[in-house]
Amino acid sequence: MKVLKFGGTSVGTPASLRNVKKIVEGCDEQVIVVVSALGGITDQLINTARLASQGDMTYLQTYAAIVERHINVIEEVVVAESKAQVKAKVNSLFEELGNIFWAICLLRDLSDRTMDMVVSFGERLSSVIISKMIADCRYFYSPEFIVTQNQFGKHILDNEETTIRIHETFDGAEFKSAIVPGFISTDRNGDITNLGRGGSDYTASILAAVLNADILEIWTDVDGFMTADPRIVKNAYVMDHMTFAEAMELCNFGAKVIYPPTLYPVYHKNISIKVKNTFNYEAPGTLISATSVSTSGQSELRGLSYIREISLVKFICDSSDDIQGLSERIFNALAKSGIGILLVDKALRIALKSADAKLASEVLIREFSSELRNGLLKEIALQEGLSLVAVVGNHISQNSSIFRNISEALDKEGCHVYAHNSGSADTNISVVVAKEEMESALISIHSRLFE
């Protein structure tokens, strides 16, 4: 059995949906197909809900546009004998959605719980349509078996309950192909939740891991993992193979090919992932597995990734040796607040996403308030307007020439490095540069290392 996931761009137009149909119906083995909302619909649902919450009646126009788009897709891709049935189901969903928008408008209130309900309609609608587009297909509703719990104010997978429910749903079920809406879930109270933006990848990975699939295929709009973002680096090329660890690093540092949590469930079951292009389905793609065996003689380097908006928290003191358990306290304090650290260098500079910077600064000032009062710490400063560029590969910290080449490439472009982790990580070397210099840094490093 295979699990296939098709993202928003893959199901965004009638033409791309016809590609999906051809790919799925061309599979000889049993397949579970996880689908996202039609491309751009989730953002339109969010925008419409916000307009409604402000009492802005133009929400009716954006709502009507969402309805029209789905009806047009049905006309284009669903066979004639199924159109009436699909339209009846879709119209029922739209009636429910319209009532929710009207309630939001009347109350001038948009809670997180209501927004979770609103955005669920993207996948609910697309999956119903696609299930009637593909021959010999059976529909399974993911909120009945993907369950979340609340942690740090976020929806986190309830692995135990989810595993039980997936087996109850799929063990012994008969189908050639199954359609499952991605992204959406419920909590144990039965309230609609979701797995976060990009969560359809995660839905597919959870199913593949629990059901011991032979492979997980992520179908998207690129030929695979590339050595860099091709929108910035024109000479970037596809990597044919990489390890889970390398793919994880690229995703954690901003690569948008796969939603990062996707990798964990299949990694633990040693189920390989194939990244393929819906619009170029004959291209070989990128294989992600436990071991790295390149078929094209590629080097130990795998690619460049970046995070455009980061900040540095800097500990300014005469000697960090005087502060008891400094590193452990930093990590623990930030972890308790659900803040991820991207990089820590020897000078006690901590790189994190800019969205977390203000909270991180407040948390650390509170944690080290005693040291700030008695002068052991002079200041905990925040530096913003920065970006991070990560070079990812296999055991690259052991190769001193890689960091030397990175430094020379940046020196040539006149890019100042504000922090780096050279030698402290096995699968990445990361540098922090000014945000306005990020693209030139990316191009220069790629030219030096990959061309």
Token pair of 354 as six digits? 């800019």
Task: Name the residue type at position 308.
Answer: R
Token pair of 2 as six digits? 């295979």
User: Are both 195 and 308 inside the same structural domain?
Assistant: no
- Per-residue pLDDT reduced to its tens digit, 114-124: 999 999 999 99
SS3 category, 422: coil
Whether 92 is in a domain gets the answer yes
Q: Quick check: 341 and 352 in contact, CB under 8 A?
A: yes
Whether 109 is in a domain gets the answer yes
Q: Give the 3-state DSSP-derived string for 97-139, with helices as H, strands as E and coil as C.
A: HHHHHHHHHHHCCCCHHHHHHHHHHHHHHHHHHHHCCCCCEEE
With a cut of 60, say whether residue 50 has pLDDT above it: yes
Burial 148-161, CB ≥16 within 10 A → b, else e: beeeeeebebbeeb
Average pLDDT, the chain: 92
Token pair of 6 as six digits? 């098709």
With a cut of 50, say whether residue 296 has pLDDT above it: no
Whether 32 is in a domain gets the answer yes
User: Are both 41 and 173 inside the same structural domain?
Assistant: yes
- Range name among 31-45, 194-208, 415-429 with the lowest pLDDT average: 415-429
- Residue 295's pLDDT band (cuts 50, 70, 90): very low
DSSP type of residue 215: E
Give me the phi and psi of 281, to 5 degrees please. -70, -10
Total domains present in the chain: 2
Q: Which residues contact 388 (CB under 8 A, 6 or more apart)?
A: 253, 254, 306, 307, 310, 342, 343, 351, 430, 431, 432, 433
Whether 245 is in a domain gets the answer no
- Specify which residues 3 forms β-bridges with: 32, 216
With a cut of 60, say whether residue 398 has pLDDT above it: yes
Whether 294 is in a domain gets the answer no
Task: Name the residue type at position 402.
Answer: I
Report the C-alpha gap between 254 and 370 in whole angstroms.
36
pLDDT of res. 423? 61
User: Are both 213 and 356 inside the same structural domain?
Assistant: no
The CATH number for 318's domain is 3.30.2130.10
C-alpha to C-alpha distances, 303 to 136, 154, 177, 308, nearest whole angstrom: 40, 30, 35, 16
Report, as an integer, the average pLDDT of 429-442: 96
Whether 292 is in a domain gets the answer no
Whether 278 is in a domain gets the answer no
Q: Which of 162-166, 298-302, 390-394 has maximum average pLDDT?
A: 162-166
Q: Quick check: 64 and 8 in contact, CB under 8 A?
A: no
Nearest to 148, CA basis, from 117, 205, 197, 189: 189
E runs forming strands in 36-191: 137-139, 147-151, 154-157, 177-181, 184-187
Report, as an integer, the average pLDDT of 436-442: 97
User: Are both 196 and 332 inside the same structural domain?
Assistant: no
Report the C-alpha gap between 192 and 208 in whole angstroms.
22
Angle between helices 80-107 and 59-77 (to 10 degrees): 170
Nearest to 204, CA basis, from 148, 271, 149, 251: 271
pLDDT of res. 238? 94
Tally Cβ neighbours within 10 Å of residue 378.
Answer: 12
- Per-residue pLDDT reduced to its tens digit, 367-391: 999 989 998 888 999 999 999 999 9
Report the C-alpha gap between 206 and 247 in whole angstroms.
17
Q: How many helices (H) and strands (E) does the chain have?
A: 14, 18
Burial of 131 (0-12, 13-18, 19+ CB in 10 A): buried
pLDDT of res. 292? 64
Q: How far is CA 90 from the centre of its chain?
A: 28
Residue 113 belongs to what domain range?
Answer: 2-221
Q: Which of the listed residues 168, 202, 221 is the one where a domain comes to its end?
A: 221
User: Are both 326 and 212 inside the same structural domain?
Assistant: no
- Per-residue pLDDT reduced to its tens digit, 316-369: 887 776 676 788 899 999 998 889 899 988 888 899 999 999 999 999 999 999
Q: Quick check: 292 and 394 in contact, CB under 8 A?
A: yes
Element holding 217 (H helix, E strand): strand 215-220
Report, as an integer, the average pLDDT of 87-101: 98
With a cut of 60, say whether residue 297 has pLDDT above it: no
The CATH number for 102's domain is 3.40.1160.10
Q: Which of the listed residues 221, 251, 278 is the one where a domain comes to its end?
A: 221
pLDDT of res. 451? 82
Report, as an integer, the average pLDDT of 261-281: 94
Q: Quick check: 146 and 185 in contact, CB under 8 A?
A: yes
Q: Which of the listed residues 170, 194, 221 is the one where a domain comes to its end?
A: 221
User: Are both 319 and 432 inside the same structural domain?
Assistant: yes
Whether 116 is in a domain gets the answer yes
User: Are both 63 and 182 inside the same structural domain?
Assistant: yes
CA atoms within 13 A on the CB side of 89: 15
> What share of the chain has pLDDT > 90, as a percent?
78
C-alpha to C-alpha distances, 100 to 58, 109, 132, 182, 195, nearest whole angstrom: 15, 11, 26, 21, 21
User: Are both 16 and 156 inside the same structural domain?
Assistant: yes
pLDDT of res. 252? 83
Which residue in this structure is represented by tokens 């909120």? 143
User: Are both 217 and 317 inside the same structural domain?
Assistant: no
Nearest to 271, CA basis, from 246, 232, 233, 244: 244
Give me the phi and psi of 382, to 5 degrees please. -120, 125
Task: Name the residue type at position 384.
Answer: E
